[in-house]
């Protein structure tokens, strides 16, 4: 089958700024050839078997030449075609059909992933020409370019009806083999003099020369200049100055590439329009200890508030030692009055078992009251087609018991006495709920649906180094097990390393566990949910 090469713009830094089409192709890619500045989080979206090839050219350290990259792309396409049985034609034959090279909708996919937009100073044009010359079908997926996005995240609109009628994208890194500048400095200076916007890419090294040339051609020394470094990422830094002092300011601040240099009147709007750097968690590094499968909501919400989020899962889920209790429970499902879920994971495991081992679905729960400990668990139930009969206001064992007791007293005379309850849950769960229920006269069956373990292969040394260097502001703990596992993972000096780091707890039970581990929580959620935890962290840093 014919392979297609897609020149995809990865966007300026924030991986969520990739286009929908770009992401779709990354998720279907057989091979991804990517550049420096492309986010790992985008590469994480590639299918499990995809081959990832780094072809970066960082700054002036040109360890890979453009010719080598072109050859690599062509070579990878040929490899994919051979793998999928495309008859190997001679190069001449392929070149002859170059003009007719059409995309084969089903063929293998090579994604050439480039920072920002592939055709804006990305050498995408050169790669496309090389592909065309080799008769390889290609498509271009434009991306959000840094010269526009980084200023936008810094509060600088590159045009404004009354202030700047044009924006010019310029390379600050000219071909060193040329003696004459390829830039039209008088024209650039004239634009700048009108207040229009000029964005220089790759210009940090050449900054003194850029500002000198603009001034020589008549731009005012007072013209505003801004540099935006690592734009659209949690490491974004903005420096605002004027043409005559920016070189000094940049040197003094030790401000390095990659940065976009913006010259123009709209920079003045930053005082009113800065938003990203003002997000409540901007500049804060937050470690999330949830499992990968569960962390999504939490991680996304923290990132929305500007945090630099590191995922260090301290918990993973595995099959329980035995399914005997769960299977027995499922077999007798119809005889229970209550089915109580204490985690979303428990819901998932219970229904997986119901389906795979018993060939049954949600209908098997008919006639049984279903309780969920909190909104996350209730959502997981909805995903299985079950609307929970009961969700307590207090998302703890104590709250669940009180809600069940109240519900039962309203509906049946004897309350919970004699009620039959099945609780599928973690093998090592707390005994509080079954105990309370039994004291109230209920007959409780516990069924291990999963086991929590400490995940293997996490980069603990990296985390320890970050903690020791004070590079972590906060760590979230969404359960007692994550707190315990985290301390076991980090080592016996975990509490000491946590000195000065805000431990953020989802609720009082987790806080209690943290205290037992010698860690005093700095933040405790008032609502014991992921949303409640995020609000509490935001409030902690906003005050
Ligand atoms: N094709 C890319 C540009 C590649 S040239 C695009 O469309 O954005 C590389 C230059 O882009 C860097 O030297 C820097 O000037 C700029 N750049 C890329 N990412 C950036 C970011 N996150 N913040 C600021 N500048 C960035």
Full DSSP string of 502-527: EEEESSHHHHHHHHHTT---SEE-SS
* pLDDT above 80 (res 314): yes
Ligand 1: atom nearest CA of 117 is 7
Cα(527)–Cα(543) distance, rounded to whole angstroms? 19
Percentage of residues in the chain with pLDDT exceeding 70? 94
Give the DSSP H or E segment for 194.
none
Cα(102)–Cα(98) distance, rounded to whole angstroms? 9
- Write down the pLDDT at residue 99: 47
Q: Which stretches of 338-431 are DSSP H helices?
A: 344-356, 375-383, 397-411
E-strand spans in 48-160?
Answer: 51-54, 109-114, 138-141
Q: How does residue 94 score in pLDDT terms, banded at 50, 70 and 90?
A: low
Ligand 1: atom nearest CA of 144 is 7
Over the stretch 354-369, which tens digit does the pLDDT of each residue have? Answer: 999 999 999 999 999 9
Closest among 522, 457, 520, 508 to 480, alpha carbons compared? 508
- Write down the pLDDT at residue 183: 93
Cα(392)–Cα(404) distance, rounded to whole angstroms? 8
Average pLDDT over residues 326-345: 95
Percentage of residues in the chain with pLDDT exceeding 90? 81
In a mutational test of the pocket of ligand 1, which residue from 116, 142, 237 has the highest number of ligand atoms less than 8 Å from its CB? 116
Over the stretch 24-71, which tens digit does the pLDDT of each residue have? Answer: 999 999 999 999 889 999 999 999 999 999 987 664 455 678 899 999
Is residue 361 part of the annotated active site? The answer reads no
CA of 469 to the centre of ligand 1 (A): 29
- Report the mean per-residue pLDDT for the chain: 92
**Bridge partners of residue 114, in order along the sequence:** 9
Lowest mean pLDDT of 89-103, 115-129, 428-442, 486-500, name the range.
89-103
In a mutational test of the pocket of ligand 1, which residue from 260, 262, 263, 277 has the highest number of ligand atoms less than 8 Å from its CB? 260
Average pLDDT over residues 414-440: 92
User: What pairing do the DSSP bridges indicate for beta strands 4-9 and 138-141?
Assistant: parallel
Ligand 1: atom nearest CA of 146 is 8
- Write down the pLDDT at residue 383: 95
* pLDDT above 60 (res 289): yes
| Residue 142 dihedral angles phi and psi, to the nearest 5° | -60, 160
Is residue 360 part of the annotated active site? The answer reads no
Is residue 202 part of the annotated active site? The answer reads yes
Count of all residues that appear for the chain in the document:
543
End-to-end Cα, the chain, rounded Å: 60
- Which is more confidently placed, 150 or 89? 150
CA of 116 to the centre of ligand 1 (A): 7
Lowest mean pLDDT of 152-166, 227-241, 280-294, name the range.
280-294
Ligand 1: atom nearest CA of 202 is 13
Rg (CA), the chain: 29
Q: Which of 1, 24, 57, 327 is catalytic?
A: 57
Residues at CB less than 6 angstroms from ligand 1: 12-13, 37, 114-117, 120-122, 145-146, 150, 201-202, 228-233, 257-260
Ligand 1: atom nearest CA of 203 is 15
Ligand 1 atom 5 nearest Cα = 121
Q: Which of 14, 30, 35, 308 is catalytic?
A: 35
- Which is more confidently placed, 63 or 205? 205
Average pLDDT over residues 392-406: 92
Q: Which of 14, 114, 117, 202 is catalytic?
A: 202
Cα(229)–Cα(231) distance, rounded to whole angstroms? 5
């Amino acid at each position: 089958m014919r392979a297609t090469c897609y020149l995809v713009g990865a966007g300026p830094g924030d991986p969520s700024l990739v286009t929908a089409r770009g992401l779709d192709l990354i998720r279907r890619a057989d091979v991804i050839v990517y550049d420096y500045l492309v986010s790992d989080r985008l590469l994480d979206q590639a299918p499990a078997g995809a081959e990832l090839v780094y072809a970066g050219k960082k700054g002036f350290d040109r360890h890979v030449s453009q010719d080598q990259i072109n050859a690599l792309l062509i070579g990878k396409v040929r490899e994919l075609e051979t793998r999928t049985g495309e008859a190997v034609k001679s190069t001449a034959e392929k070149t002859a059909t170059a003009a007719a090279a059409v995309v084969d909708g089903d063929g293998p996919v090579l994604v050439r992933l480039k920072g920002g937009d592939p055709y804006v100073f990305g050498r995408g044009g050169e790669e496309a020409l090389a592909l065309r010359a080799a008769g390889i079908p290609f498509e271009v997926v434009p991306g959000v370019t840094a010269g526009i996005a980084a200023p936008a995240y810094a509060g600088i609109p590159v045009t404004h009806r009354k202030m700047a009628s044009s924006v010019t994208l310029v390379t600050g890194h000219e071909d060193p083999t040329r003696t004459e500048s390829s830039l039209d400095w008088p024209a650039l200076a004239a634009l700048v003099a009108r207040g229009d916007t000029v964005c220089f890419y790759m210009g940090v090294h050449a900054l003194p020369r850029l500002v000198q040339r603009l001034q020589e051609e008549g731009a005012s020394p007072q013209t505003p200049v801004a540099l935006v470094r690592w734009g659209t990422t949690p490491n974004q830094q903005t420096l605002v100055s004027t043409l005559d002092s920016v070189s000094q300011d940049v040197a003094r601040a030790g401000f390095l590439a990659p940065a976009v240099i913006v010259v123009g009147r709209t920079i003045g709007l930053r005082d009113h329009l800065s938003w990203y750097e003002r997000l409540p968690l901007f500049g804060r590094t937050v470690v999330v200890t949830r499992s990968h499968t569960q962390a999504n909501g939490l991680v996304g919400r923290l990132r929305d508030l500007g945090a630099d989020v590191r995922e260090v899962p301290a918990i993973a889920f595995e099959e329980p030692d035995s399914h005997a209790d769960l299977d027995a429970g499922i077999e007798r499902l119809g005889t229970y009055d209550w089915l109580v879920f204490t985690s979303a994971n428990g819901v998932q495991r219970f229904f997986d078992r119901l389906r795979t081992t018993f060939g049954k679905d949600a209908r098997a729960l008919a006639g049984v009251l279903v309780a969920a400990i909190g909104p996350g668990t209730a959502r997981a139930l909805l995903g299985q087609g079950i609307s929970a009969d009961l969700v307590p206001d207090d998302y703890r064992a104590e709250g669940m018991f009180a809600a069940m007791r109240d519900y039962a007293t309203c509906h049946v005379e004897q309350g919970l006495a004699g009620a039959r309850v099945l609780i599928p849950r973690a093998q090592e769960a707390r005994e509080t709920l079954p105990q309370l229920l039994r004291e109230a006269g209920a007959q409780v069956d516990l069924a291990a649906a999963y086991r929590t373990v400490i995940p293997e292969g996490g980069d603990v040394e990296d985390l320890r180094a970050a903690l020791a260097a004070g590079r972590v502001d906060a760590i979230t703990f969404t359960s007692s097990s994550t707190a315990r596992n985290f301390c076991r993972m980090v080592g016996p000096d975990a509490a000491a390393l946590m000195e000065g780091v805000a431990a953020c707890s989802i609720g009082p039970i987790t806080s209690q566990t943290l205290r037992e581990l010698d860690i005093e929580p700095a933040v405790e959620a008032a609502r014991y949910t992921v949303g409640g935890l995020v609000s509490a962290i935001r409030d902690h840093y906003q005050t």
